[in-house]
Every structure is written in C-alpha cells, then in structure tokens.
C-alpha cells in the first residue's frame, strides 16, 4: 500500500469515526458529561491522538496497530507490544513533535504469544472495574500485555486511582499493574 492509499484509508477511518459520533449524539454527550476534562480539553486531546495515529498509520499501518495512543490533558501515552525498535522511536518522536503535546509517556514491550490470556484478563479487569460502585471507571482505559495491566485515563481523585489499581491487582492472572491514571488538578 503506497503513502497516498494509506492516507486515504486513515482519512476514511477518521470520517467513519466522526460519522458514528455524529449519528450518536447521546453517546458523545454521555462521554463528555462523565469525563473529568473540559469539552475543550477533550477536543484538543482527541485531535492530538488522531494526529499521532494518522502519522503512525502513514508510516506503516500494520505496525501502527500495535501501538495504542491515548491523550489526556495534552499528555500522550503510547502503549503496546511491538518488537520494531525503529517504529517505537518513530512513534515517540512523532508524539513529541505533535503540536500541543506537553509530555510523552511510553509503555512499549516486546511482542508476546499471550494474546488469548491477555484478552481474558482484560475482560475480567474491565468487569471488576465496572462492578465497583465506588469507582467511576468510564474514563479508565486498560491494556494487557503478558499479564501486565496498564491503566490510562482520568479519575475523580487519587483515591479512585488507587482503588482502580487494587481492583486490577485482585484479578486472577494479573502479574503487574502500571498506572498512568490522572486525577483532576
């Protein structure tokens, strides 16, 4: 796939994503209302993450799928399992050079063969977070790689961040939890 085709494919996915949001305003309104960030911050963060994702896909669409890009309050989190060091470096450089980014955090590990186990753990962690009545987990994103849970997102307080970590640690199969959860300032 040449550069122009990749760009067109990325733009097509972006249009589809925007169309889905446009056709489901209740979902967008709910997400915005539950988010600890202002609507302006949410829009800025979304623009930053889409810009980075687009640049990664332009470089190599298959490799781009191995790195998840999250952005909260202009802080970018690159999380994934990828062996290609050059692409990792490209992802970090791209994030750092993206307009509006103030900080870049990476949690990139080597590829593993634990996908089935990791998907099971991810589902159990998500279910446990949702089941906890004292935790607003709608803005907590989780990735699982080789039994390690990486948590990224916004929470209401430092107590919520600690509670989310404890919940994830209590799930069978979890070897380690790394938290990038942010309480409001």
What are the tens digits of pLDDT across the range 71-101? 999 999 999 999 999 999 999 999 999 999 9
pTM reported for the whole predicted model: 0.78
Please report the pLDDT score of residue 14 as a whole number. Answer: 44
Residue 114 predicted with pLDDT over 80: yes
C-alpha–C-alpha distance, residues 141 and 102, integer Å:
20
Please report the pLDDT score of residue 3 as a whole number. Answer: 52
Please report the pLDDT score of residue 34 as a whole number. Answer: 57
Closest CA to 80 of 125, 124, 146: 146
Please report the pLDDT score of residue 17 as a whole number. Answer: 45
Q: Judge whether 3-109 and 115-182 match in fold.
A: no
- Element spanning 178, H or E: strand 176-182
What are the tens digits of pLDDT across the range 115-128? 899 999 999 999 99
Q: What are phi and psi of 21, to 5 degrees?
A: -65, -45
Tell me the domain boundaries of the chain: 3-109, 115-182
Please report the pLDDT score of residue 133 as a whole number. Answer: 86
Mean pLDDT score, 41-61: 96
DSSP structural state of residue 31:
H
Class of domain 115-182: alpha beta
C-alpha R_g of the chain: 17
What are the tens digits of pLDDT across the range 115-165? 899 999 999 999 999 999 888 766 789 999 999 999 999 888 899 999 999
Look up the CATH architecture of domain 3-109: 2-Layer Sandwich (3.30)
């Amino acid at each position: 796939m040449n550069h122009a085709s990749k760009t067109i494919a990325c733009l097509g996915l972006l249009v589809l994503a925007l169309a889905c949001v446009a056709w489901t305003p209740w979902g967008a309104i709910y997400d915005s209302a539950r988010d600890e960030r202002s609507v302006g911050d949410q829009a800025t963060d979304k623009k930053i993450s889409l810009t980075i994702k687009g640049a990664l896909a332009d470089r190599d669409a298959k490799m781009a799928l191995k790195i998840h890009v999250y952005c909260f309050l202009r802080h970018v989190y690159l999380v994934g399992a990828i062996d290609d060091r050059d692409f990792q470096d490209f992802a970090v450089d791209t994030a750092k050079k993206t307009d509006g980014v103030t900080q870049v955090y990476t949690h990139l590990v080597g590829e593993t063969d634990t996908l089935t186990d990791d998907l099971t753990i991810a589902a159990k962690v998500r279910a446990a977070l949702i089941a906890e009545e004292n935790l607003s987990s709608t803005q907590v994103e989780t990735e699982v790689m080789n039994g390690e849970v990486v948590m990224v997102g916004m929470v209401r307080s430092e107590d919520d961040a600690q509670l989310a970590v404890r919940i994830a640690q209590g799930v069978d199969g979890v070897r380690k939890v790394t938290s990038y959860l942010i309480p409001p300032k």
